[in-house]
Amino acid sequence: MERFQFTKAHSVSEAIGIAAQSTTAQQGAPVRFLAGGTTLVDLMKLNVERPTRLVDINHLELNKIERTSDGGLRIGALVRNATLAHDEAVVRDYRVLSEALLSGASAQLRNVATTGGNLLQRTRCMYFRDTAMACNKREPGSGCSAIAGENRALAILGTSPQCIATNPSDMNVALAALEATVHVQGARGTRAIAFQDFHLLPGDTPHRETALEPGDLVTHVTLPPPRAGATSRYLKLRDRASYEFALASAAVVVEVAGGRFRYARLAMGGVGTKPWRMTAAEQALTGAAVDEGTIKQAAALALRDARPQSENGFKVELAQRCLTHALRLATGMATV
């Protein structure tokens, strides 16, 4: 771990000002906001993250869960994962989010990790975390060791010749299916970013993971009002039952009436370089009969663009089965 400056901020404007001033004074040197630190501190110990300044934002008033005027939900960036998972409104109206959060990490980590930090959680790719190995995400232009290396747990959707790392978050998959909005404040003001646009595909710039600009601070996330009659579920498949990242996971929000899908929003984790919306499958389900054939066809469509690597071809079928069973759970076709 390298030397760095540590500053506590007591307001959003102060935090943004410190970050902007530091970035300008040190010619773009990295400044990081510190909340739970469950990922950032680990990466600093590994010398993967090397900020010159940390800005502690734990004193900011960003830790509330509130109803919005239209009946949706506003979630502060500092709301802890455990608090969000057990919130009465979340459990009742956004079950998929509660289930996703409770399937991640451990109880101890969920007590510390924050909504904003989870949004920005970085990949668990072993080559990204090992500074002795080539990684375009960590060091642009150095190469991708994973493509010809151990890639069993890595992505099959949204990959590029530069990067095949997965987004590790469970929460992000649920937020994608719920069509959340991320609210950001920076030196140039505030803006709202549709969740689908927040995380970026690796392309030729895998080191740029989100739409954030230097010094931007995530202040809160909003969820649209819960859809009347809709049900939602999260299913996670992994190598062991706890404290493990997904090989494939599925977040589904569906509304069924008269034996047909009236509404469907689907997202998957463990298979994409970002939280992966299955829009083609959503369109195929809408208006279709709720039966085994329809669900399996939609799952196959969802994975049609998969590009497996040398060790993760099994994920294509695993992801299809994961999505299929999540839809069975949400529609009442299965109970377990």
DSSP-assigned letters across all residues of 145-156 = TTTTS--TTS-S
For residue range 94-136, list pLDDT tens digits in order. Answer: 999 999 999 999 999 999 999 999 999 999 999 999 999 999 9
pLDDT-derived band at 22, boundaries 50, 70, 90? confident
Average pLDDT, the chain: 96
| CATH entry 3.40.630 includes domain 5-56 | no
Domain extents in the chain: 5-56, 230-331
Q: Which two tokens stand for residue 30?
A: 């990295």
* pLDDT exceeds 80 at position 206: yes
Helix (H, G, I), strand (E, B) or coil at 301: helix
* pLDDT exceeds 90 at position 23: no
Structural fold of domain 230-331: Enolase-like; domain 1 (3.30.390)
Mean pLDDT of 48-76: 97
Per-residue DSSP letter, 272: B
- Residue 49 dihedral angles phi and psi, to the nearest 5°: -95, 130
pLDDT-derived band at 330, boundaries 50, 70, 90? very high
Environment class of 164 (CB within 10 Å of its CB; exposed 0-12, middle 13-18, buried 19+) = buried
Mean pLDDT of 273-283: 98
* pLDDT exceeds 60 at position 20: yes
Amino acid in position 242: S
pLDDT at 19: 92
* DSSP letters for 156-217: SBS-BTTB-PPP--SHHHHHHHTT-EEEEEETTEEEEEEHHHHB---TT-TT--BSPPTT-E
For residue range 141-158, list pLDDT tens digits in order. Answer: 999 999 999 999 999 999
* pLDDT exceeds 80 at position 39: yes
* pLDDT exceeds 60 at position 28: no
